[in-house]
A = this chain, B = another copy of it.
Amino acid sequence: MIIETALFQRVALLKNTNGGVFFGGFGMDLRQLRYFVAVARERNFTRAAQLLNIAQPPLSRQIQLLEEELGVTLILRKSRPVKLTDAGRLFYEQAMQVLGRVDQMKAATRRVGLNQNSVLSIGFVASTLYGGLPSLVRKLRQHAPELDIRLLEMLSTPQIPALKEGRIDVGFGRLRHSDPNVGGTVLRDERLVVAVHKGTRLAEETGPLPLAMLTGETLIVYPKEPRPSYADQVMSLLQHDDVRPAEVQEVREIQTALGLVAAAAGICIIPSSARQMRSDVQYRPIEGARATSPVILYHRVGDTSRYIALIKKLIQDMYTENPPWLDGSEIRDVRGGHQT
């Protein structure tokens, strides 16, 4: 089992229908990254060139091309040893990460290509990590040991194209969608809670909070992009009850959001199962039938893979076990194929 974290970002280059220069700004390649890393590490073009087994002048030139490409100076050459600019230091470290990432990709591809096992790629939103997904995966491995299970964290919206393109085989998200090629089965509707800093006014409340009590608070929502997202669900819920936060701060992911709550920077509405024990954060249920978020299983319409059916069965079995993360959820009959 491999967990890969990828807040997936679609590269919008394949939709360019202008017929013009297609790769404007995309001249950089991995060779340049490797060259830059060598220079950045050695702080010396001559020595780096030796290590790279090339001559110094082409190395110098390639770094210049890289700087031109970026429009940023990466290396200050007016001193010996040369120095990196702030941008250069950032680029150095990022380049090493990218190169490492490429290594991983090659190794993983070889492993799959040379291994006859089936691969099942599962996309999931982060909050489902707390809502039974680890347990489901464990059971799935037991029932289908021939499977190479890959778990890919990605937001709900990008799971739809990922399914259609075969990058994932099944997805777990929280947004309804309109794509006719992707089916969705609502697994459960989960209660929402509000995360508040310990000691604040809202934390002292003892029962479910009416949404109106959130008026005037700074609201932290996630994920900020791509939209529509769970953030829009939260905003829509508040708007329906005409609740107006004093300020809305958008952040990238749930951990950041809870970190900000911990810093008393605001409140955040999260699914019940995603509650985490932080000594500086408390969670309060929210009043009202609408204060829920669905957990949806996405799969391709017409996908008759036996694994989809197995996943549904395992989920239904898990419901009968009434696990703790189900607290606050209204479950659905999974195998009945409830359409969203």
Contact = CB atoms under 8 A, between A and B. Distances in A.
A74 B134 CA distance: 30
Given A9-B100, A101-B101, A110-B71, A280 B324 contact: yes
Given A30-B26, A263-B134, A86 B108 contact: no
A274 to B, nearest CB: 10
B279 A102 contact: no
A2 B3 CA distance: 22
A334 interface: no
A123 B68 CA distance: 29
Contacts of A52: 22
Nearest to A118: B86
Contact of A85 (B113, B138, B167, B276): B113
Interface in A91-108: 91-106, 108
A14 B30 contact: no
Interface residues of A, number: 95
Contact of A99 (B11, B100, B325): B11
A168 B29 contact: no
A90 B70 contact: no
A92 B255 CA distance: 28
A11 B96 contact: yes
A255 B9 contact: no
Nearest to A323: B280
A94 B105 contact: yes
Copies of this protein chain in the complex: 2
Interface stretch (A32-40, A203-211, A295-303): A32-40
Interface in A75-99: 84-87, 89-99
Contact of A38 (B14, B71, B256, B259): B14
Contacts of A121: 89-90, 93
Interface string A174-195: 0000000000000000000000
A112 interface: yes
A327 interface: yes
B102 A28 contact: yes
A119 interface: yes
Given A22-B52, A38-B14, A91 B70 contact: no
A256 B3 CA distance: 8
Given A30-B30, A138-B265, 8 more contacts: A6-B97, A23-B34, A28-B106, A93-B121, A95-B105, A134-B259, A276-B278, A279-B323
* 6 tightest A-B CB contacts, nearest first: A277-B277, A72-B113, A279-B324, A87-B113, A93-B167, A9-B100
11 contacts: A9-B103, A25-B106, A26-B34, A28-B102, A28-B106, A29-B30, A41-B165, A70-B106, A72-B110, A91-B105, A95-B105
